[in-house]
Structure 1
Amino acid sequence: MPETMLAGRLDLRSGRFAVEEVPVPEPGPGQVRVRVRAAGICLSDVHLVDGELKPAFARDGKVTLGHEVAGVVDVLGPDVPAPWAAGQRVLLQAGERCGECGGCVRHEPCRAVRTRGVDYDGGWAEYALANHHTLVPVPDGLPFEQAAIIPDAVSTPWAAITTTGRVRPGRPAGVWGVGGLGAHAVQLLRLAGAAPIVAVDPLEGARRRALEFGADVVLDAGAVDVRERILEATGGSGLDLALDTAGVSAVRDQAVRCLGRGGRLVLVGIAPGPLTLADSAALIFREQQVLGHYGSAPGHVDELVALARLGRLDLGRSVSGTLPLAEAAVGVERLRKKDGDPVRLILVP
């Protein structure tokens, strides 16, 4: 067993990101060490490297990035219960309860969830530590590259659609931004029975991808008749559910204007700028809602693994390419520039 390993580390004080040699971690009580086989590069990682996002709960000056992680259990720490054992294929939940807040003490939802690869060390490394309750078994037929992206890239839009957005079968839904989150949102809306599904994106390649993932109608966000085209596609009713997965402030007002009575806009993509709506009175009169959404619950990941295992969810189109861990900075730059218009780039240690 080597004493050191490669890890993609972000210095939270200087903002410098580099792949470095660090000690291989040893699992503590209740923890396992996982040999990482695949780790996704998310736009949130780019925002962390750029300094647009700041960890809320990080306790150290540096953090290993990576919240989309899959691999093989390597070593069990003390007090890890059965059935976990070395050699098991697993993915890691993207975060965990803090264990300290009033919600955790009373066995209620945690009020300060810690995010892997943001608040504590993640999976852009050859080995990663995980508390045993954040492990999810991965079926043999599901490749590690696809399993890794289920927490966040797939589970975040799934939770936004099914829980926050309260999707209804046979009702129209729209997705603004068909990148890593939006492409899966289109696919998952179709799985959930939304109809018709409208995808809005300024990039022609993204609109083509939306059709491949199951959209019924694709529109250029820069067109002057987006609202009219959506009303036409929905028989004049407007959208029951709209998802902003791009995190672009300008499209949110456009999305609200495309909602029908009682429609809901769910903000999934993170936008640091202000939220402005041109006509808030219409929002009130039409009893519409704007809802914030972040991440997913453990049960959402379990649902998606089951859907993938049963062949209901195909994530094969989601992996746009793989890179060795040593080239993590290259992957970040490719995603920042949208080089090749990727859905997800995967680091392979």
Structure 2
Amino acid sequence: MRALLYTPSLPRFFGARLLGKRFPKGLLPLALTEIPLPEREGFVRVRVRLSGVCGSDLALLYGKSPPSISPFFSFPAVLGHEILGEVEGSLVAVNPLLACADRGLSPCARCQAGEEGLCQNVAEGALAPGMLGYNRDLPGGWGEWVLARPERLHPIPDGVPEERAVLSEPLAVVLRGLKKLRPWPGEVLVLGMGTLGLLAVRLLRALGYGGKVLAVAKYPHQAERARAFGADAVYRSAREALEARSRRYRYLLFTGYRGGYQGVVEASGSGRGFREALTLAEEGGKVLLLGAPGLEAVDLSPFWFKEVGLVGSYTYTREEFAEAVALLPGLGGLETLIGGIYPLPAWKEALSARGKALFRPNVA
């Protein structure tokens, strides 16, 4: 089958880390190639309909992933963990986790508690480390086929467009994260109006949140979409949001702030966004990391001086994934997040797309 295969290269890693998005696409360690059709006992073969390009995929390609998590992935691998597939003519969202049960192991303490996303055996058992999209034994969604155990396949409700259904996986991440903000604060500020940030705004309203939802959007089209998804107000920058709600104090060359927002969702995935989120949270407030910043220099004083709480969301439970899929019919408009759908040979264009890019592997 055809697939986009990621093969690590230290020179290209350091080059991409240094140059970022200026690094030539043709030098990224990604290649369209032919690999054997996968087979594995107990796993179902799923024909990929659509697969998303995630911020974590881009972080890997551009050398931004934190080194401490590298032992829990395995390469070379076919990337892609946001997967909409087809089995016997029916659309399914694929839960990409490979926890104890998938690995042929007795459940660890976290899996026994139903927290498969926190499985302690992600680098153990009969499979290589990592979930689908970061696993050398099982291909991810940037190929024509994937394998998954039947309980990892969630039927898509009737009438849900494919471009909305493929967002099941990031929606589950956001759903889990927003639950960690409960009991709901009186207001929530969302930093970063990319896919995760806009999903957070939309999902807050879908979950019945009645407080103020505020957003920070870099671009006018993001601001427009944030309002359409339920934001009460949109700031053009974190600085504008800070000045709107905080008091500034100066001593010599140093600046500090008091006040801010009760709940702050950091969805940009950047170190700068993380630092801004800590500054924007008010005393006793809470910060939710939906993005995935790596190694960053951060002032830790907000955690003790302002007693700001910090929580994060990376994956989900099986029930949370199913809940996200069940919410899809009531989340009309999510498909507007899609910036383009690309065949595998057009991967360079996909990685440069504005908005959420998708691959449709089974076309020329």
TM-score normalised to the size of structure 1? 0.81
**Letter in structure 2 aligned against 1:128:** V
In 1, Cα distance between the equivalents of 2:181 and 2:121?
A: 22
2:295 counterpart of 1:273: yes
Structure 2 segments unaligned to the other structure (5+ residues)? 13-28, 123-129, 248-257
**Letter in structure 1 aligned against 2:86:** V
Q: Which stretch has the larger CA shift, 239-248 or 312-321?
A: 312-321
Instruction: Specify the alignment match of 2:277 in structure 1.
Output: 255
Instruction: Specify the alignment match of 2:22 in structure 1.
Output: none
| Match runs of 1:1-349 below 5 Å | 5-13=1-9, 16-26=29-39, 28-53=40-65, 55-59=70-74, 61-73=75-87, 86-98=88-100, 99=103, 100=105, 103=108, 107-108=112-113, 109=115, 110-113=119-122, 114-119=130-135, 120-152=138-170, 154-162=171-179, 164-166=180-182, 168=184, 171-192=186-207, 193-221=209-237, 223=239, 225-230=240-245, 238-277=260-299, 279-280=301-302, 283-284=303-304, 286-309=306-329, 311-312=330-331, 314-334=333-353, 340=354, 342=355, 344-349=356-361
**Could you say if the C-alpha distance between residues 275 and 300 of structure 1 is closer, same or farther in structure 2, counting changes exceeding 3 Å?**
farther
Q: Is the 8 A contact 2:79 2:133 kept in 1?
A: yes
Deviations 1:229-252 (A, max 9, x none): 2469xxx97422211111222233
* SS of alignment partner, residue 226 of structure 2: helix
In 2, Cα distance between the equivalents of 1:261 and 1:38?
A: 43
* SS of alignment partner, residue 56 of structure 1: helix
Q: CA offset at residue 190 of structure 1? A: 1.9
* SS of alignment partner, residue 46 of structure 1: helix
Deviations 1:4-56 (A, max 9, x none): x2101101246620111222222x22100011111111121112222323643
In 1, Cα distance between the equivalents of 2:111 and 2:48?
A: 34
* SS of alignment partner, residue 175 of structure 1: strand
Q: CA offset at residue 132 of structure 1? A: 1.8
In 2, Cα distance between the equivalents of 1:292 and 1:259?
A: 15
**Letter in structure 1 aligned against 2:328:** A
In 1, Cα distance between the equivalents of 2:211 and 2:92?
A: 34
Q: Is the 8 A contact 2:238 2:276 kept in 1?
A: no
Q: Is the 8 A contact 1:308 1:314 kept in 2?
A: no
Q: CA offset at residue 222 of structure 1? A: 5.3
In 2, Cα distance between the equivalents of 1:260 and 1:216?
A: 19
Structure 1 segments unaligned to the other structure (5+ residues)? 74-85, 335-339
**Letter in structure 2 aligned against 1:199:** A
In 2, Cα distance between the equivalents of 1:161 and 1:222?
A: 21
**Could you say if the C-alpha distance between residues 181 and 105 of structure 1 is closer, same or farther in structure 2, counting changes exceeding 3 Å?**
closer
Q: CA offset at residue 194 of structure 1? A: 4.5
In 1, Cα distance between the equivalents of 2:107 and 2:188?
A: 36
Q: Is the 8 A contact 1:172 1:238 kept in 2?
A: no
* SS of alignment partner, residue 151 of structure 1: helix
In 1, Cα distance between the equivalents of 2:273 and 2:142?
A: 32
Q: CA offset at residue 117 of structure 1? A: 0.3
Q: Is the 8 A contact 2:78 2:143 kept in 1?
A: yes
Q: CA offset at residue 187 of structure 1? A: 0.9
Instruction: Specify the alignment match of 1:76 in structure 2.
Output: none
In 2, Cα distance between the equivalents of 1:230 and 1:40?
A: 36
How high is the sequence identity, in percent, across the aligned residues?
Answer: 28
Deviations 1:271-312 (A, max 9, x none): 1232523743xx435542022331222222211221223x25
**Letter in structure 1 aligned against 2:108:** G
* SS of alignment partner, residue 352 of structure 2: helix
Q: Is the 8 A contact 1:182 1:245 kept in 2?
A: yes
Instruction: Specify the alignment match of 2:21 in structure 1.
Output: none
In 2, Cα distance between the equivalents of 1:205 and 1:312?
A: 19
